[in-house]
Chain A
Amino acid sequence: MLTLSLSFPGGRYHATPWGRHVNEADVAWPPDPWRLTRALIATWHRKLDHQLYPEILLTSLLGLLADEPPHYRLPTAVHSHTRHYMPNRQKSTLIFDAFARIDPTEALIVHWPECQLNDAQTALLDELLNCIGYVGRAESWVEAKRLDDWNGEPNCFPGSTQIDQETGEIQTEPVQLYAPLTPDAYVNFQQQMQSGLALRKLKTSELKSIKKTLPISWLEAVSLDTADLQNAGWSAPPAAQKVLYQRPIQALKSSVASRAKPKPSPSADTVRYAVYGKPLMRELDTIRFAEHVRRAVMGKAKWTLGETAIPPLLTGHGLNADNRHCHAFYLPQADSNGLLDHVLIHVPAGIDGDMRRVFGALKTVKGFDGQEWRLMLEHIGQREDFENVSPIVQSASVWQSRTPYLHPWHCKKDLDVSAQIRRECRERQLAEPTEIRLLPTIKPYGRELRPIDFHRFRSKRGLMQPDTRGSFWQLTFAESVSGPLALGFGCHFGLGLFAPVKANE
């Protein structure tokens, strides 16, 4: 394994791709293995002690690098250019100067997964990297070093186009890079070309200039002057081959400034979606729908942020024991017919940028039997922003069950259900209710509902569930309490949810 890190202290990388005119303003991105090899050769010629680092060592090092196409990790780069006129008095020619603008603090990684260098080759490479001044044109100042250890993921590598099997989306953009032929491959190529030339009738001068570009030495062939190659009529360097690479789409963005500048997002803890689909689930199945929503959020977080970067505040896993209710509550909400047409996700610890991206990207929720509901993001904001549309986030002193409360601990002599409610309120830094009243039924939309009318079980197996029946309660607090108020087993999935009772109800 061999890994190089290239950073650009001037923030710019200038390089015209082979076969393109400078005024096409294209940029060879990432730097071709061919260009890197030639930059190392140039550095050796200009700056290194040839007694200490002989040509044979350089050839062996570069030969090894040519044996394997490197992988890259590309930093964010913007395709930019400036234009100017040449200051000729007679005719002012317009010249485009294209370059990739890169953050000087970000590094371009070049990685050979299989390459193994010996000590002498490593020492030479380190010295070359230390002395290299630029890659591409002289304005592309570069600082290069070898990394002993690199655990990152390359995002540009040889291969064919990658397609997401599920969505059919193309995930990569093909780009042709020039890489030096391996020394063995060049010997074969050179011999074939020489024998081919012998059979052709060419002018002596033409033959001479072509033969000059087909030296026996591989290193000499890789080092040839570009002008000599072009004069001999080559459309691509004879000692190079094209390798198809895949780089991320928009690896070289054409513009970013036209985008509105990201404004600092106001702090948020709640997001609400409208739910569309036929049929909508019933409020009686709140817990099932909430589980579907959570699963959809997990999937989107995995896709957006990566499998290892899903925020614990969304999963609810891996949080401190004393802080376990700060993570997301998935709270479906029913319309006047008892159908779940909205879902509110409340994260008491706050929604950060990563979570915003996940919530912004969430478009659908899928059930187990292939049913799909579409989600429309209404708003990401503070809990108070939703008071008019979601009564459960209002402040009130009297609260009544909207879904069954399932007590989380086993009932004991001093720990009956109301004691458990008090204990939960204490643990959540709420004032204890002054009155706790059991309700046999509730009538949210004209229909009288008992706790057992609701689905009360998680699909996840092996959970401790001391209460399987559930009960409805009315809680009265001495002072106003802010919602959402969800207590008991499955409270993060819409069970034990309370709604405020207005004074006149």
Chain B
Amino acid sequence: MSIDFSALHAAPRLLIEAELQPLQGARFQPTGFPDLGAAVYDGPNGNRLLLVESAQSMANRMETVCWDAPNDDWVDALKGLPLIKVIDSQGKPLTNTVQEAHRLNSAYVLEGKDQTVFDQLKAELADMDEGAVDLKKLAAVVLRYDSNALLHGLFLAKKELAGGRLRLPRVVSSFIEAEDVNLAQSGGVKNDHVNPSGDTAKGFGNVPYSRSDYTAPKITAYFNIDLAQIRGFGLGNAVEQLLIALALYKIRAVLDFGLRLRTACDLDVKKLTVTRPAGWELPERNTLEAALPGLIAAVAAENRFAEPRVTTVTWEKGKTKKTKGEAYSEDK
């Protein structure tokens, strides 16, 4: 079954809402840090809201579901998409642009002694040193080496690359929020039957602990695909269809098997709604899996991907330079 993209042709954005519920029971573990607590805030109608998963976290999850870690490759449906793999001096896989926090801007790709990719980027983006950044050209280069970065955004924060002005905004963004939350406090004791009053610092003794879970009548995952931005890349119909299908696949995959957010936060989809454009039906994951290889092949036929698709960089520590983007990039 092919995917009907015609209804999306003029739509500026695709908005999807998935109503979620805890897989078992009513409680779920919130995101947060021990000394900061959960990300709870107020809504305009007086409801207590909880950020269950941030936009940055969701981006990471949408990338994780695309990667077959044991085989160090894309999942089957996405095989053939370009990416950059980093290997160590022994040739063992170290990381890659799908798993890396800053994608193509990863320090392991651009900051090592192996400057292959850096030099290629510099050569291809050299004429952007002055004047406005040509986003279409930047998008074409990113598509060639790290197509995934087109969807999640990129900031090439290096002075040598157009003065650190090369940025692509997020096309796919998402977050999960729970409404009208209530705290569910619980606790317990780790028992030491041998010596209850042993030195807890060394792992002995009884240790009481407390935990704060939440309950909520409504948990919603929001997804937003900026279709106008995909068209704005100006990379042609085949690329547009591939990027939309890839974005949809990521969403489907996260909803199908990526919702175990934390040990005690395993969510399930109760209801899925496409809010914009109204009435459009989100294809099933198997439909997308069936369509994606063809879409990848169509773009490859236009010679838009690097050959070979996998660019390999060997990681050897180079000079450490602090980059501009490091302080505020929050992914991973």
Contact = CB atoms under 8 A, between A and B. Distances in A.
A9 B229 CA distance: 18
Contacts of A101: 41-44, 49
B173 A225 contact: no
Contacts of A82: 39, 41, 51, 54
Interface in B33-49: 33, 36, 39, 41-49
Interface in B45-59: 45-49, 51, 54-55
B274 interface: no
B229 A78 contact: no
Contact of A78 (B15, B43, B170): B43
A100 to B, nearest CB: 9
B13 to A, nearest CB: 7
A138 B173 contact: yes
A45 interface: yes
Nearest to A130: B12
Interface in B250-266: none
A95 B36 CA distance: 11
A261 B170 CA distance: 37
B228 A83 contact: no
Interface string A234-268: 00000000000000000001011101011000000
Given A133-B13, A141-B173, A259 B46 contact: yes
A432 interface: no
Given A95-B330, A102-B44, A133-B13, A139 B55 contact: yes
Interface in B149-197: 153, 164-165, 169-170, 173, 175, 177
Contacts of B332: 87
A130 B49 CA distance: 29
A233 B178 CA distance: 42
B309 interface: no
A1 B43 CA distance: 33
A257 B175 contact: no
Interface in A70-105: 75-78, 80-87, 93-95, 101-103
Contacts of B222: 9-10
Contacts of B229: 46-47, 133
A449 interface: no
A48 B43 contact: no
A87 B36 CA distance: 15
A221 to B, nearest CB: 13
B232 interface: yes
Interface in A179-205: none
A11 interface: yes
Contacts of A84: 33, 36, 39, 54, 330
Q: Which of B42, B226, B231 has the most CB of A within 10 A?
A: B42
B228 A103 contact: no
B11 to A, nearest CB: 9
Interface string A1-24: 000000001110000000000100
Contacts of B12: 130-133
Interface in A89-128: 93-95, 101-103, 106
B135 interface: yes
A257 B42 contact: yes
B278 interface: no
- Max chain B CB contacts within 10 Å: which of A77, A101, A102, A225? A101
A143 B15 CA distance: 11
A260 B45 CA distance: 12
B330 to A, nearest CB: 7
Nearest to B224: A141
Contacts of B24: none
Contact of B44 (A45, A75, A138, A227): A75
Nearest to A139: B55
B224 A255 contact: no
A256 B330 contact: no
A78 B42 contact: yes
Contacts of B327: 86, 93
Contact of A138 (B46, B153, B276): B153
Nearest to A85: B33
B29 to A, nearest CB: 16
A45 to B, nearest CB: 7
B293 to A, nearest CB: 29
B275 interface: yes
A78 B46 CA distance: 9
A48 B229 CA distance: 9
A257 B42 CA distance: 6
Contact of B15 (A9, A93, A102, A132): A9
A483 to B, nearest CB: 39
A131 B228 contact: yes
Contacts of A9: 15, 222, 224, 275-276
Contacts of A85: 33, 36
Contacts of B164: 227
B228 A133 contact: yes
B123 interface: no
Given A84-B36, A133-B13, A138-B153, A45 B49 contact: no
B7 interface: no
B132 interface: yes
Nearest to B33: A85
B41 A78 contact: yes
Nearest to A260: B46
Interface in A35-74: 43, 45-48
Contacts of B328: 22, 95
A95 B330 CA distance: 10
Nearest to B275: A9
Given A76-B44, A139-B173, A47 B228 contact: yes
Contact of B39 (A43, A83, A86): A83
B123 to A, nearest CB: 24
B165 A225 contact: yes
A86 B231 contact: no
Contact of B175 (A77, A106, A139, A256): A139
A22 B169 CA distance: 19
B105 to A, nearest CB: 16
B42 A46 contact: no
Contacts of B224: 9-10, 133, 141
B184 to A, nearest CB: 17
Contacts of B44: 75-78, 101-103, 106, 256
Nearest to B139: A46
A81 B51 CA distance: 10
Nearest to A102: B44
A45 B132 contact: yes
A356 B14 CA distance: 43
Contact of B46 (A86, A95, A225, A257): A257
24 contacts: A10-B224, A43-B228, A76-B44, A80-B42, A80-B49, A82-B41, A84-B36, A86-B327, A94-B36, A101-B43, A102-B44, A103-B45, A133-B13, A133-B228, A138-B55, A138-B153, A138-B173, A139-B55, A225-B165, A227-B164, A256-B46, A257-B48, A259-B46, A261-B46
Q: Closest 3 CB pairs between A and B?
A: A80-B41, A47-B232, A82-B39
Given A11-B43, A46-B232, A138-B55, 7 more contacts: A45-B132, A46-B135, A95-B328, A103-B44, A139-B55, A253-B42, A256-B45
Interface of B: 12-13, 15, 33, 36, 39, 41-49, 51, 54-55, 132, 135, 153, 164-165, 169-170, 173, 175, 177, 222, 224, 226, 228-229, 231-232, 275-276, 324, 327-328, 330, 332
